[in-house]
Chains A and B, each alone.
Chain A
Amino acid sequence: MKTKKNRLFICLFAVILLFTATSSARVTPTYAIVNCKIIPVTGSPIDKGIIIIRDGLIESLGPQGKISIPEDAEIIKAEGLFAYPGLIDAHTNLFLELPKEETRRPETMRTVSAEPQQKEKAQHPDLMALKLLKPKKTAVADLHKIGITTVLVAPERGIYAGQSVLLNINGEIAEPMVIKSPVALHVNFTTASGTYPSSLMGTMAFLRQSFLDTEYYSSYKSQFSKSARGLKRPEYNPFLEALLPYVVKKSPIFFNCANLEDIKRALGLIKEFKLNAFLTGANEAWRVADLLIKNANVPLLVSLDFKPPMTSIYVNQGEELKKKAEEEIYPANAANLHKKGLTFALTSQGLKKPDDILKNVQKAIKTGLPKEEALKSMTIIPAKFLGVSSFLGSLEPGKIANIILTSGEIFDEKAKVERVFVDGISFEIKKPPKGEKPSAVNIAGRWSATVSSAMGEWESTMELEQDGNQISGNISTRMGRWEIRDGILSGNELALSISATIMGETMDVAFSGTAEKDSIEGTITFMEWSMELKAKRIPDGKF
């Protein structure tokens, strides 16, 4: 009897184990990457090395000969390839589809009254990037192509923009990617639309007052919880509730610094309210390097967006200087910070195209940032800043298998990422289809288009931009303005993907046709319908 019961329990136990084992994690193959040059970032490079990946982690790594290859390992021949930790982009805009901001005309002063407004209602510090997770279609492939395996994604708009999420880009489904949520509260030195604060000076006062109010709210709540008798119960305030973990409990806050004065503003607030905060954006940080040295305990994230801010003197002293600023001076930001002994992470924040990330890292290196520093600034340093360095940011046994294999040294002109591992899952980088040709014409500009279908004809205007054979832009119709993405002009063959929003629903609509210098013709397909599109170029100077 006893043994039967035991056997039953054992069986049940085994079943449960099996069940949990299968449902808890995807089963990933064991890999042995052989014969590659390993750059662990923490520790010396290994010329001819082996990395063993098991269960999503780096089991072991070391020089050839010292590491034995397990029987169940799939061998990945990596002769002539370099192995690096997967790059961490500690603040990116390129991954998610963020909701488009309603362009309602702020009927300026619509609700302005002499009474202090419900200004808090206009803010959304509780907006979670986690809830907005809708990765762009080609985002995963684009980022893997550059070697980025981990991204921090934050809501971008508003003074209190919301709270960010840290993702390991291990596929197309959102939830399994999440490493940490929330990571930080994101603050911009911008204004609220249509309400207070409508100016930067107002925003500064508003930030201070909201920090004071959060502290007050928290102390009142704790006083009430200690002895409620005789005290009015605290009013629930969702805005202050959202701020409480950051202002009182000192969870991290990211201050987005568009210019050098923003950096000063942020440091002032950090000091005044003893915040645990990071500086991000900061593409002219070098200009206040001395101040940053004094505040070296504040983590610095520096954007690879080299566009000088509008306030910069480099922008309003003539075209020549403006160009020099964009091409030489601002790209040297990281190099200059490094020269002053400052540590920072490099981010893609503000960049509109994934290709620009690599281009701009290369520019930063060309203007004087040592390559090893660039690599550190996208691996171990952001990992440390974000508190994940115990399992990310370098190639060490026990850490997560986020590895990139490149042909050529990383960031080199000719180097290409061949394969990427994220959480031990292998992604081979696809080459562009052989059939793609360079474009035969330049179709950038404004076009007047007529779309005809069984339901009739309608007019629209297209604005196209061309970068090599990549086409992007937008098409304006009576129903709104739709984004044109993923366009390829191969010879005279044009293929576009249009993100059409009709009655609140967004769907992708495909166009395929031919393009000449002044005319475009083709077919739009949408579900089972197809429509003809004919477009003529609008010459400059006319409307």
Chain B
Amino acid sequence: MQRKNIGIILVVSLVVFSSFSFGQDLLIKNGTILTVTKGTIPNGDILIIKGIIKQIGENIEAPKGIKIIDASGKYVIPGIIDSHTHIALTGTNESAEAITAEVKMRDVLNAEDRSIYTAISGGVTMVHTMHGSGNPIGGENIVIKTKWGKTSEEMIVHSAYRTLKFALGENPKRANSPAVGTLRYPQSRMGVNAIIRREFLKAKNYMEQWDRYLKAKKSKKPPKNLILPRKDLRMEQLADMLRGKMVARCHSYRADETLEFIKLSKEFDFKIACFEHASEAFKIAKELAEEKIGISVFLDNWAYKVEASEGIAYSAAYCTKNGVLVSINSDSNERIRRLFNDAAKAMKYGGLSEEEALKLVTINPAIQLGVEKIAGSLEVGKHGDIAIFNEHPLSAYTLCEKTIIEGEVYFDRAQYLKEREEMEKKKKEEEKKKVKKGGTK
């Protein structure tokens, strides 16, 4: 059944890709190019052909008829990647049960969510949009590009890791919802851990049933009363975790619950790509670095609940300096448009360099999501996902002027200002007409 699904996906993607023209051609000229991985080019150009960066350097010759963006005096960085959001979805949590691994964000994508526009107004070109943190095991997340105006299918990034949302601590145990909080198991951190273990044990049993069936079927004398096991979508998801086809993205706050989950992952041999929020990561930087598990954090959003009450602003920089792969996320349809401000704070709180700070919102989340081959830095061969700022992106005085995905401009502040001006003009003319008519205000 799985191979069939993959087959369907392959065929559909082929059809989908062949029918879309991938990306556009674009030449960005004379900007200060912050590649993030390969240094800075003070007066550089980027050439994008059919959505892929073909050349980065100085004085690139413009192919005939290509669209040119003059970036003189501007700063050009890789499109920002937000590795933890809930935008572009109809619904966030399936909270009727504690374990809902079978639900998929893929099924509820909403390309008309205004938050996508909010994201591109802040230079974000890709997001990892996720199930909420209401359940110990939530659902399968998805990575999309913020192609405002296009269809939901066109936004999906198919090469990203498949990720399953896990959550620990106050949210899945419903500590902060007094009205309904005390009705659903689990109600404690020990219950959260136990229920996750239970589901993996069930999944192992499920896989064993199928293995036995297949073995028996293939055998020389298959038993007469051999029946196909029931296909269970929830178990299939967890089985995929155990088979290494999906990685865990686990929401945790306290250092201890984070360590417990690492133990759990070893007990069942599944991979954790990243801990989300990880307020107390600085307390266990050593372990995280050793296990090579990344974190995706707020820079300084803290003290809104007890488990976040020791979430110091220095954590991101400190963990970076101690060998942990750190990304900064927004988990908010408002904060998403100022991730570059959050990155800058990592210079102040912990002394990261400019480049280290920029990595927190570009190449680091790309690596965590498995898309570093196509995004996260300005390198030849990667997608032309770019954000252009009027001041240095880590300055408090900067703003995003253009957001480009695969060579196509999706957000253009100049265009926006022009449209506003025209709108204001129209309004004034209409008001003049009203006054002329003698209408009262």
Q: Is the CB of A201 within 8 A of B131?
A: yes
Q: Is the CB of A208 within 8 A of B109?
A: no
Chain A residues within 8 Å of B99, by CB: 114
Q: A209-B233, A261-B90 are in contact. Are A201 and B96 (CB under 8 A)?
A: no
How far is A108 from B182 in the complex, measured between Cα atoms in Å? 11
How far is A212 from B234 in the complex, measured between Cα atoms in Å? 12
Within B181-211, the residues touching A (CB, 8 Å) are: 183-186, 195
Q: Is the CB of A198 within 8 A of B225?
A: no
Residue in B93, B95, B185 whose CB lies within 8 Å of A113: B185
Produce 1/0 per residue, A382-418, CB < 8 A to B: 0000000000000000000000000000000000000
- Cβ of B105 < 8 Å from any Cβ of A? yes
Q: Is the CB of B97 within 8 A of A116?
A: yes
Chain A residues within 8 Å of B225, by CB: 229-231
Q: Is the CB of B228 within 8 A of A202?
A: no
- Cβ of B224 < 8 Å from any Cβ of A? yes
Within B93-113, the residues touching A (CB, 8 Å) are: 93-100, 102-105, 107-112
Within A283-315, the residues touching B (CB, 8 Å) are: 288, 311-313
Within A162-195, the residues touching B (CB, 8 Å) are: 192, 195
- Cβ of B414 < 8 Å from any Cβ of A? no
Q: Is the CB of B8 within 8 A of A202?
A: no
- Cβ of A223 < 8 Å from any Cβ of B? yes
- Cβ of A117 < 8 Å from any Cβ of B? yes
Instruction: Categorize the interface residue count of chain B.
Output: 35 or more
Q: Is the CB of A108 within 8 A of B180?
A: yes
Produce 1/0 per residue, A202-237, CB < 8 A to B: 101100110011001001100100010111000000
Q: Is the CB of A112 within 8 A of B103?
A: no
Chain A residues within 8 Å of B217, by CB: none
How far is A118 from B8 in the complex, measured between Cα atoms in Å? 31
- Residue of B whose beta carbon sits closest to that of A215: B231
Q: Is the CB of B97 within 8 A of A117?
A: yes
Chain A residues within 8 Å of B107, by CB: 200-201, 204-205, 265
Chain A: interface secondary structure? loop
Looking at A198, A199, A200, A213, the one whose CB has the most chain B CB atoms below 10 A away is A199
Q: Is the CB of A205 within 8 A of B103?
A: yes
- Cβ of A366 < 8 Å from any Cβ of B? no
- Cβ of A250 < 8 Å from any Cβ of B? no
Nearest Cβ in chain A — how far from B105, in angstroms? 7
- Residue of B whose beta carbon sits closest to that of A192: B96
Chain A residues within 8 Å of B153, by CB: 264
Q: Is the CB of B184 within 8 A of A109?
A: yes
Q: Is the CB of B93 within 8 A of A261?
A: no
Residue in A110, A117, A195 whose CB lies within 8 Å of B183: A110
Q: Is the CB of A199 within 8 A of B224?
A: no
- Cβ of A271 < 8 Å from any Cβ of B? yes
Q: A196-B94, A216-B231 are in contact. Are A205 and B102 (CB under 8 A)?
A: yes
How far is A85 from B96 in the complex, measured between Cα atoms in Å? 49
Chain A residues within 8 Å of B108, by CB: 199-201, 204, 261
- Cβ of B417 < 8 Å from any Cβ of A? no
- Cβ of A197 < 8 Å from any Cβ of B? yes
- Cβ of B425 < 8 Å from any Cβ of A? no
Q: Is the CB of A197 within 8 A of B232?
A: no
Chain B residues within 8 Å of A271, by CB: 8
Chain A residues within 8 Å of B8, by CB: 271-272
- Cβ of A316 < 8 Å from any Cβ of B? yes
Looking at A109, A198, A208, A212, the one whose CB has the most chain B CB atoms below 10 A away is A109
Chain A residues within 8 Å of B92, by CB: 199
- Cβ of B230 < 8 Å from any Cβ of A? yes
Produce 1/0 per residue, B149-181, CB < 8 A to A: 001110000000000000000000000000110
Residue in A112, A213, A264 whose CB lies within 8 Å of B230: A213
Nearest Cβ in chain A — how far from B407, in angstroms? 23
Chain A residues within 8 Å of B234, by CB: 116, 205, 209
Q: Is the CB of B184 within 8 A of A216?
A: no
How far is A316 from B112 in the complex, measured between Cα atoms in Å? 9
Produce 1/0 per residue, B295-324, CB < 8 A to A: 000000000000000000000000000000
Q: Is the CB of B185 within 8 A of A114?
A: yes
Chain A residues within 8 Å of B109, by CB: 261
Within B56-108, the residues touching A (CB, 8 Å) are: 89-100, 102-105, 107-108
How far is A108 from B183 in the complex, measured between Cα atoms in Å? 9
- Cβ of B114 < 8 Å from any Cβ of A? yes
Q: Is the CB of B97 within 8 A of A196?
A: yes
How far is A114 from B233 in the complex, measured between Cα atoms in Å? 17
Residue in A201, A264, A272 whose CB lies within 8 Å of B91: A201
Residue in B91, B96, B224 whose CB lies within 8 Å of A196: B96
Chain B residues within 8 Å of A231, by CB: 225, 227
Chain B residues within 8 Å of A208, by CB: 102, 233
Q: Is the CB of A202 within 8 A of B100?
A: yes
Q: Is the CB of B180 within 8 A of A199?
A: no
How far is A312 from B112 in the complex, measured between Cα atoms in Å? 6
Q: Is the CB of B227 within 8 A of A220?
A: yes
Within A246-284, the residues touching B (CB, 8 Å) are: 261, 264-265, 271-272
Produce 1/0 per residue, B362-396, CB < 8 A to A: 00000000000000000000000000000000000
- Cβ of B31 < 8 Å from any Cβ of A? no
Residue in A110, A192, A201 whose CB lies within 8 Å of B104: A201
- Residue of A whose beta carbon sits closest to that of B105: A201
Q: Is the CB of A261 within 8 A of B139?
A: no
- Residue of A whose beta carbon sits closest to that of B184: A112
Nearest Cβ in chain B — how far from A409, in angstroms? 39
Chain B residues within 8 Å of A195, by CB: 96
Within A101-155, the residues touching B (CB, 8 Å) are: 107-110, 112-114, 116-117
Chain B residues within 8 Å of A227, by CB: 224
- Residue of B whose beta carbon sits closest to that of A206: B102
Nearest Cβ in chain B — how far from A207, in angstroms? 9
Q: Is the CB of A112 within 8 A of B90?
A: no
Q: Is the CB of B195 within 8 A of A212?
A: no
How far is A272 from B12 in the complex, measured between Cα atoms in Å? 12
Chain A residues within 8 Å of B91, by CB: 199-201
Q: Is the CB of A311 within 8 A of B224?
A: no
Shortest 7 CB-CB contacts between residues of A and residues of B:
A230-B225, A196-B96, A204-B107, A202-B94, A198-B96, A201-B103, A205-B102
Write 11 A-B pairs (CB below 8 A) sorted by A numbering.
A110-B183, A112-B96, A112-B184, A114-B186, A202-B96, A202-B100, A202-B103, A216-B228, A272-B8, A311-B110, A316-B114
17 more CB-based (< 8 A) A-B contacts, given A110-B183, A114-B98, A216-B228: A196-B96, A198-B95, A199-B92, A199-B93, A199-B94, A199-B108, A201-B94, A201-B131, A202-B96, A204-B103, A204-B107, A205-B102, A212-B231, A227-B224, A264-B153, A311-B110, A313-B112
